[in-house]
Structure 1
Amino acid sequence: MPVLNHHIVAVHNKEKTATFFSELLGLPQPVRMGEFAVLQVSKDTTLDFMNNDGDFDKLHYAFLVTESEFDEIFARIQELKMPYWADPFHNQPDEINTWDDGRGVYFDDPNGHRLEILTRPYGSGGTEAAHPHPLIAPVIDTPQQGIWS
């Protein structure tokens, strides 16, 4: 199976943003590699921050973390008085979610990229979870109509 090796992240200040990610997520300090500030986020994967003075797409980065890592990161979010939400659309401020019987929270980086930390992958609790992920719906057992019948 292929493994994501790196992702280039457009930002307004690569050093500041890479350090923000590093300190908030509890990762080693970024290193300079050519025009990039490179942050090792897992054994095989880096985020490579690159300066961009113009407009760029705001992207979503989700980090699967342990329960204790969630506690540590969420404490830093609160300590910095950063806005956070239970949902990706920012409709549930100052809340976390318990989807898949884990915990998750959304927040933004200084460039407007949407970040997420979660303790259970999407759908891992299935429909049997006390708090199933909203994207996971129970299968409705009804006769199929259309081209397959």
Structure 2
Amino acid sequence: MTSSPTVQLNHTVVHATNRQRSAEFLAGVLGLEVGAPFGPFLPVDLGNGVTLDFYDSRYEPIQSQHYAFLVPDDAFDGMIARLEELGVTYYANPNHTDPGRTNNLFGGRGAYFADPDGHNMEIMTRPYVRP
């Protein structure tokens, strides 16, 4: 096998019925800022060089996607508090069957919640351990 170049995710499109509402929601929960519009996209820059580009898909059905965010442990409680302030239920599992609870997977903490369009968002303080 030959050595391959380093490949990194640069950006991804998040389809929304209202890009402003969805971008502001997620940025608010994560403690980030919404950037200036870039063409049809409204960006939220993450700390690792990846941008979420929110896109209005008003005339197409939104397919629910899963987005997982590795967050600092000392920011996790603030994110949970912002979800509670917004009246957004969070869950310990991806199936949303354990409301108001967080998990402790891989020695960290995590939670799942839905954004305004039903995307399954996850915040976690430790990355998944893979074999």
**TM-score (ref. length: structure 2):** 0.90
- Provide the secondary structure at the position in 2 that maps to 1:90: coil
Structure ID, larger Rg: 1
Taking the aligned partners of 2:21 and 2:85, their CA distance within structure 1 comes to: 18
Taking the aligned partners of 1:28 and 1:3, their CA distance within structure 2 comes to: 22
Runs of 4+ in 1 over 2 A off after TM superposition: none
| Structure 1: 5+ residue stretches without partners | 125-135, 137-149
Match of residue 104 from structure 2:
98
User: Deviations along 1:43-71, whole A, 9 cap, x unmatched?
Assistant: 41100011012202100000001111111
Taking the aligned partners of 2:103 and 2:47, their CA distance within structure 1 comes to: 24
Match of residue 17 from structure 2:
12
Q: CA contact under 8 A between 1:31 and 1:39: conserved in structure 2?
A: no
| Structure 2: 5+ residue stretches without partners | 1-5
Alignment root-mean-square deviation, CA: 1.4
State percent identity of aligned pairs. Answer: 39
Match of residue 40 from structure 1:
45
Q: May I ask how many residue pairs the two structures share in their alignment?
A: 125
**TM-score (ref. length: structure 1):** 0.79
Taking the aligned partners of 1:25 and 1:109, their CA distance within structure 2 comes to: 12
